[in-house]
Structure 1
Amino acid sequence: MQQFNYFIPTRILFGAGKLGRLHEQELPGKRALIVTTGGKSVIKYGYLDRLKEQLDLAGVSYVIFNKILPNPIKEHVMEGALACRENDLDFVIGLGGGSSIDAAKAIAVMANNPGDYWDYVGGGSGKGLPVPNDPLPVVAITTTAGTGTEADPWTVTTKTDTNEKIGFGYDKTFPVLAVVDPELMVSVPPYLTACQGFDALFHSTEGYLNKTSYVMSDLYALTAIELIGKSLAKAVADGQDIQAREDVALANSLAGMVESTSGCISEHSLEHALSAYHHNLEHGAGLIAISREYYAFFARTGQCEQRMIDMAKALGRADATSSMDFVDALVELQKACGVDDIKLSEYGVTEEELPKCVQNARETMGGLFEVDPVELSDEDALAIYQKSFR
């Protein structure tokens, strides 16, 4: 008999033009903090102005906090939380990619709670304390298709003084409302479209291989993999292809639901360790760089053969009969997207630091190794890094 618990409480507005319907929704307050990055894209392409217009129509005032980095840091979480308290704000809006929305969730936690953010983070030097007060509500407006954070409770933050990049989240950090509008994604350049799309893919493939996977996570995972295999290369080749953007956006949100039902395995731990030391390394790029050797390791064990065949077929290899067919299909998609030759060395990673990265991965997010379908030792992890290094 199959038994499971299922909880995804986020209301999602999905589809082209949905940002223009935000003012019609029941928003969780009248005073908001808009969290976004220091980049120019949300201003250049008018997304921030469109959000302001919607908030004006809804009678919501706002304060803008635009300091978030591509890899959000604890200092900015604490600063954003202070802005919420000083301005007596009701809720937090994350506008942008995964970094902005992740940071919005962390800020929402600290806006209503004492101490330091790392008091509540588990893993590494985090104290793992229970969060005493409910976070502020979060509204997520995503302008990229990569992390699926609009449909999951997770937020990843870096503690810069110790080089720890750790995920955190619980039931109350789910966004209460998410807007997934593919029209906001047509401005993402090809390389970042690819990196973000592969992040969504790996959320799905890791979730499908995860020992905690079950019928609901499997449904989301295989559909997300299929959509990415069908349309990611098209979105990379032509950013104005709204149908391709829609497919990848949907895959991204489904991948977030995978994160909410099963979750990542050690591939994400291994990448987080790399970008914890090298903040310029895009998360998706780091995942792509290690992915071939990572999945080849599991393929060679023969312990998750059918699941890898399922993923290969979903990715477009209809005649798949072995685990390595998934690895081949993965590399083929990376070539089609022009990201099959990412060099970690170009981001400042050195071979000498790889053992340190293995240790970091184990110490900060070791829990993800525990849900791998096959045991991955430190020696195995180092070999994956070394074979991936260029």
Structure 2
Amino acid sequence: MKSQFNYFMPTRILFGPGKLKKLATTPFLPGKKALIVTSSGPSVKKYGYLDRVIEYLKQNNVSSVTFDKILPNPILDHVMEGAQAAKDNQCDFVVGLGGGSSIDSAKSIAVMAKNPGNYWDYVYGGTGKGKPVTGGALPIVAITTTAGTGTEADPWTVITNPQTNEKIGFGNDYTFPVLSIVDPELMVTVPPKFTAFQGMDAFFHSVEGYLATVSQPASDQYALEAVTLITKYLPVAVADGSNLEARTALAWANTEAGMVESLSSCISHHSLEHALSAYHPGLPHGAGLVLLSIAYFSFMAGKSPARFANLAKAMGKNVIDLPQEQQPFAFIAALKKLIAAIGLQDLKLSDYGVKKEEAPLLARNAMSAMGGLFAVDPYKLSPEEVTGIFEACLE
């Protein structure tokens, strides 16, 4: 056990089926006028989630305006536009409604509603200027309609700068939500393919947080339970999205994965994916992670095997009878089985327009834009090794 670590998890979480209606009565709303940040897609309107949030806020004596331009891979321009909308409408807090893209954008908008200049002035990594956030941020309420990013339980936000092809994570104490509502009933409408993509994002947050050199006892507990729950329940939810038991288990695993991100960190697996989807924004983040995962984790298991056997056990693999040198690779076998169980075994990066000759460019981007994650890897990757991992995924 590590003898030194920090624990900071300030978000109040209302969890469980039917919890959305608590928005109408909770005393913990941080203001009286909200900017609701949500997707440009049809789901939150089609299924009535946006209307319900507006009505529940109204019942709680909170008025609201809606900013509904957020893309699946959210971009810098919309952060700046949303921040201006918050200022123009004198909003005193921000609600992120939807998946990770909407909630991440809400966090970044909350920062820029209180600070001058351009959002990229504050981003650290790549071409970001890394200025301190001296103005704080508007309070953030997160209402997640997916089980993928865990962003309702962490401070992180990922935004793409299309001008520089950089997709960079950012966050600080101000960008923790003050209140998060996790209602699995809002997740039953997610289609099977996106249920799979989102569930694997949460899975890899947990795996990476367990492997990171900054892991700690609490993050380990959350990570291993999330891995177990996702392994068991993600195939169930993909097969039957209306199964509320499975959706609830995945919602909790996702929130746990967010806590892992708050207490530990992703490793460079996420850096590699951010490079892919920065250049190919049509690639869903979870799909990119899956497509990188076998090559990436096989390499890591060979170089730094110490914790992989525990991950395999969390996935239900019996490693006791295996020779010690084979135990880490039981995780790879279990991962392949899970990917097949959720119908993603035939995914290819080439389906999204990624070419093998891009590997050196993608490696440079990953190590520049999200270079900080390489610092907490269990094994220090070289540029040539990163290029090799990309190439292995494109053969």
Q: TM-score normalised by the shorter chain: which range applies?
A: over 0.9
Q: Distance in 1 between matches of 2:334 and 2:34?
A: 44
Structure 2-normalised TM-score? 0.97
> Given the alignment of the two structures, is residue 310 of structure 1 paired with residue 310 of structure 2, yes or no?
yes
- Report the equivalent of 2:382: 377
Q: Distance in 1 between matches of 2:52 and 2:308?
A: 42
User: Which amino acid is 2:116 matched to?
Assistant: P
Output one character per residue of 1:142-199: Cα deviation in whole Å (capped at 9) or x when no partner: 0000000000000000011000100000111100000000000000001100000000
User: Which amino acid is 1:147 matched to?
Assistant: T
Match of 2:183 among 181, 184, 190: 181
> Identity, % of aligned pairs?
61
**Is contact 2:206-2:260 (8 Å) kept?**
yes
Output one character per residue of 1:301-342: Cα deviation in whole Å (capped at 9) or x when no partner: 2x333x111001111213464010000000100000001221
- Report the equivalent of 1:66: 68
Output one character per residue of 1:226-284: Cα deviation in whole Å (capped at 9) or x when no partner: 11011010010100010001111100000000000111000000000000011110000
Any runs of at least 4 consecutive aligned residues in structure 1 with deviations exceeding 6 A, and if so which? Answer: none
- Report the equivalent of 2:220: 218
Structure 1-normalised TM-score? 0.98
**Is contact 1:199-1:287 (8 Å) kept?**
yes
Query: Number of matched residues?
Result: 388
- Report the equivalent of 1:326: 331
Structure 1 position 107, deviation (Å): 0.1
Match of 2:193 among 183, 191, 194: 191
SS in 1 for 2:318: coil
Unaligned ranges ≥5, structure 1: none
Q: Mapping of 1:248-267 within 5 angstroms?
A: 248-267=250-269
User: Which amino acid is 2:151 matched to?
Assistant: T
- Report the equivalent of 2:9: 8
> Given the alignment of the two structures, is residue 368 of structure 1 paired with residue 370 of structure 2, yes or no?
no
Q: Distance in 2 between matches of 1:134 and 1:368?
A: 24
Q: Distance in 2 between matches of 1:150 and 1:66?
A: 19
Q: Distance in 1 between matches of 2:345 and 2:178?
A: 37
Q: Distance in 2 between matches of 1:122 and 1:234?
A: 39
**Is contact 1:208-1:218 (8 Å) kept?**
yes
Q: Between 59-68 and 380-389, report the one with greater CA deviation.
A: 380-389
Match of 2:152 among 150, 153, 167: 150
Q: Distance in 2 between matches of 1:10 and 1:318?
A: 36
User: Which amino acid is 1:274 matched to?
Assistant: L
- Report the equivalent of 1:21: 22
SS in 1 for 2:126: coil
User: Which amino acid is 1:174 matched to?
Assistant: F
- Report the equivalent of 2:113: 111
> Given the alignment of the two structures, is residue 129 of structure 1 paired with residue 131 of structure 2, yes or no?
yes
Q: Distance in 1 between matches of 2:305 and 2:141?
A: 38
Q: Distance in 1 between matches of 2:98 and 2:262?
A: 20
**Is contact 1:18-1:181 (8 Å) kept?**
yes
User: Which amino acid is 1:73 matched to?
Assistant: I
CA RMSD of the aligned region, Å? 1.0
**Is contact 2:309-2:319 (8 Å) kept?**
no
**Is contact 1:304-1:373 (8 Å) kept?**
no
SS in 2 for 1:94: strand
- Report the equivalent of 2:345: 340
Structure 1 position 3, deviation (Å): 2.7
SS in 2 for 1:157: strand
